[in-house]
Structure 1
């Protein structure tokens, strides 16, 4: 029997009351099961953190000695138990080391997606599907009007100009994916990377990911090279350099409102769009869908006559 209160949304995060642990907590807790290392899912300071090894490496870089009291590293499909709840990590395809979290309790399977994507990405493990009774899915882009274009086609837009480009992207996941895409599809571009992004790039390489060619940003190189340079910067730097001259400003994101001031609109998202969510539900074959991280109202309407959809947040 599905327990309606197996996962409860609280101000601290998603709480598994039967296992007495949190999924991707927003505040420090005793036991945290972490899906991936983005800052809105993995904070520092939790006493016990259960995650993949790669996720721990990103967290240790970001939070240093305050990353966790103790890390409990688990491989994909490796089972462990917290207070009677059987848990395993399933590749989520979001960023390197990202995982969906499969929980089994009293014969019922609950699958928490964290963030996930279905598009191919050479820089992280591809998503895998498992069946579950309850799918707890992110709904960041759960809108029938949202369709993410093919990233390999989007990146070709950068070949439409020889002007130097300032390319804004998230430092973890998006940065590495874009470097790989540009190496594959924009061979004339010379890629310079902001220093704050480099440690994450190096962790990718240490874990066997071939990034292709890139260089640490050098102001003199950028100034003295008038064409075909791409300077990758994190969002805060991108926003602070709004008066940068002699560059075309581009920000890689799936959000339309963040493209308003970009001279080239680059729609590259690391999340599932509407079709991907529907496909995931078809693959997981849940009896119920619980939504999180976004608005699940349109999913609820879509499945009104065929599937129970509950909005956790």
Structure 2
């Protein structure tokens, strides 16, 4: 029997009382199962952290001594138990080390997606499908009007720009995906990276991900010739709003971060509407629980077929 209260939000985040653990807690927890290392899913200060090896490396880099007390690392499909709940990690395809969390309790399976994407990305493990009785999906872009464009078509826009480019992107996951894609689809461009992105690249390379050619930013290089793409995190991009002699572009799937058609690369690391429907088809759940976005469109679309509720 599916338990309606298997997961519920409290002041610390999404809690499973049957295993006494949190999924991606918003505040430090005794037992934290972390899907991936983005800051809105992986906070510092947890006591026992259950995650993949790349996620632990990213958290240690970002938070240092405050990353957490005790990291417990697991590979794909490697089962562990918290309370009476059996847990394993399934690849989510979002960034390197990103995991879906498959939880089984009293014969019923619950699959928490974390953030996920279906688009190809050679810098992380592709999404894997498993069956589950309940699918707990992010619904960040779960709107019938949202369709992510082909990322290759977007990155090829760089080929038509003759000047140097200031390219803003989230430093973990997006930046590494862009580096690989620029090497593959805009190979005449020379990539420079901000000093905060380079250590993240090193972790990717430690885990066997080949990003291609890139080098640390050097002001003299961009001053003396064109053809460079300088990849910077959002805060640096914003601080360079008066930059001259460069084309400013921002890479994102978030509408509030997109500048306009000419100044944005529409590249998302989340599932769009059709991707979420594909996930539902592949997982084939009896129930759908939504979070991290607007779930009303899915509830209306699935009315009479799959019971749907919003957790947040």
TM-score by length of 2: 0.99
Superposed CA RMSD = 0.9
CA distance in 1, matches of 2:247, 2:26: 36
Q: Secondary structure at the match of 2:183?
A: helix
Please report how far the alpha carbon of residue 240 of structure 1 lies from its aligned counterpart in structure 2 after TM superposition.
1.0
What residue is the counterpart of 1:67 in the other structure?
Answer: 67
Moved more, 227-236 or 261-270: 261-270
Is the Cα contact below 8 Å between 2:155 and 2:185 reproduced in 1? yes
Give the structure 1 partner of residue 118 of structure 2.
118
Alpha carbons 1:250, 1:262 under 8 Å: kept: no
CA contact (8 A) 1:92 1:100 kept: yes
- 4+ runs deviating over 6 angstroms: none
Q: CA deviation at 1:223?
A: 1.2
CA–CA distance in 2 between the matches of 1:160 and 1:306?
Answer: 47
For the residue of structure 2 that corresponds to 1:294, the secondary structure is coil
The 8 Å contact of residues 251 and 262 in structure 1, kept in 2 or not, is answered as no
Equivalenced residues, count = 312
- Take 2:70 and 2:273, find their aligned partners in 1: how far apart are those partners? 37
Partner in structure 2 of residue 46 of structure 1: 46
Asked if 2 retains the 8 angstrom alpha-carbon contact of 1:25 and 1:32, the reply is yes
Q: Do 1:249 and 1:263's aligned partners in 2 also have CA atoms closer than 8 Å?
A: no
Tell me the CA shift for residue 222 of structure 1.
Answer: 1.3
Offset, 1:36? 0.2
Task: Check the 8 A contact 2:250/2:259 in 1, yes or no.
Answer: no
Verify: 1:186 aligned to 2:186, yes or no: yes
Other structure's SS at 2:264 match: coil
Structure 2 unaligned residues grouped into runs of 5+:
none
Are 2:109 and 1:109 aligned?
A: yes
Q: CA deviation at 1:154?
A: 1.0
Determine helix, strand or coil for the equivalent of 2:64. helix
Mapped contact 1:90–1:101 kept (Cα < 8 A): yes
SS in 1 for 2:48: strand
Structure 2 Cα separation of the partners of residues 84 and 160 of structure 1: 57
| Alpha-carbon distance between aligned partners in 2 of 1:230 and 1:21, rounded to the nearest angstrom | 43
For residues 250 and 11 of structure 2, what CA distance do their matches in structure 1 show?
Answer: 31
Question: 1:256 and 2:255 equivalent?
Answer: yes
Task: Using the TM superposition, give the Cα deviation of residue 262 of structure 1 relative to its aligned residue in structure 2, in angstroms.
Answer: 7.0
Q: Which residue of 1 aligns with 2:267?
A: 268
Question: Equivalent residue for 1:141?
Answer: 141
- Over residues 51-105 of structure 1, what are the superposed CA-to-partner deviations in whole Å (9 max), with x where a residue is unaligned? 0011000000000011111000011100000001000000000000000000000
Shift in Å at residue 261 of structure 1? 5.3
In 2, Cα distance between equivalents of 1:309 and 1:228 = 50
Query: Is the Cα contact below 8 Å between 1:248 and 1:263 reproduced in 2?
Result: no
Equivalent in the alignment of 2:37: 37
Structure 2 equivalent of residue 153 of structure 1: 153
1:12 CA displacement: 1.3
Matches within 5 A, 1:80-229: 80-225=80-225, 227-229=226-228
Structure 1: gaps (5+ residues): none
TM-score by length of 1: 0.98
